[in-house]
Amino acid sequence: MNAAPAHVPAAEWQAFVAGMNALSPLNDDDLAEAARLCQRLCLDKGQALLRAGERAHLVGFVVSGGLREHYVLADGGERTKGFSLPGWFAGSLSDLLSNEASKVWIEAAAPSVLLTLPWADVRHWQETRPAWTRFGWRVAERLYMMKVEREYELLAMNAAARLDATLARWPTLEQVFSQRDIASYVGVTPVHLSRLRTAKAASPAPGSPPSR
């Protein structure tokens, strides 16, 4: 396995390599390029990887913790767009591609560690190195399928089904994010989410005998 950068713990680098290769394998030369530019970023709860109005320039692999991508509305309200948990990436692809002021916030919901790469270099590798080109396509495919699933949930599912789909997609979500964050993603108020959870807890498990 390609050696970890001197400033990155070996276990974190191994997690990074495993996450990258799970999507599309990179050879030692490609990983060496990543190791040369990789930076370790530690965020406290509430700290931002990206703020609306800034230019997005980093893409990060989440080693620990978790981040929330959200919009802030004119009235100060928030709408959650998505979550990034360990083993996945953080960074608004649309804002990275547009090279314009970001529309979203990406904030840590808990103390988090990321391994980051400059987007400009990743983009260059995608244009010049076949393994990185394949990797870029795999990420785009995964993000597209997540987008399609999200649209289906919002257009064709009721709130209870959306909650089930959300928790199935991210089984550890409630260990990192608040009920307010989760409710915002599902598209309900925190009070409604609490009712959905109460109703779910009261429902018999599939296959269980009826109560007498």
**Mind listing the pLDDT tens digit for each residue in 59-82?**
999 999 999 999 999 999 999 999
Q: What pLDDT score does 5 carry?
A: 86
Token couple for 171: 């089984």
Q: How far apart are the first and last CA of the chain?
A: 59
The pLDDT tens digits for 1-57 are 577 888 999 999 999 999 999 999 999 999 999 999 999 999 999 999 999 999 999
Q: In angstroms, what is the C-alpha Rg of the chain?
A: 19
Q: What pLDDT score does 86 carry?
A: 97
Token couple for 41: 């970023």
Above 70 in pLDDT, residue 207?
Answer: no
Q: What pLDDT score does 211 carry?
A: 47
Say how many residues make up the chain.
212
The pLDDT tens digits for 138-161 are 999 999 999 999 999 999 999 999
Q: What pLDDT score does 202 carry?
A: 83
Q: Which helix (H) or strand (E) holds 19?
A: helix 10-23
Token couple for 65: 């913790």
With b for 16 or more beta-carbon neighbours within 10 A and e for fewer, the 94-132 pattern comes to ebbeeeeebbbbbbbbeebbbbbbebeebeebbeebebb
Above 60 in pLDDT, residue 208?
Answer: no
Q: What pLDDT score does 1 carry?
A: 52
Above 70 in pLDDT, residue 185?
Answer: yes
Q: Tell the burial category of 207 from Cβ atoms under 10 Å away from its Cβ (0-12, 13-18, 19+).
A: exposed
Above 60 in pLDDT, residue 180?
Answer: yes
Q: Provide the pLDDT confidence category of residue 212 given band limits of 50, 70 and 90.
A: very low
The pLDDT tens digits for 83-133 are 999 999 999 999 999 989 999 999 999 999 999 999 999 999 999 999 999
Q: Which residues are CB-contacts of 38 (< 8 A; sequence separation ≥ 6)?
A: 5, 8, 13, 16, 115, 116, 117
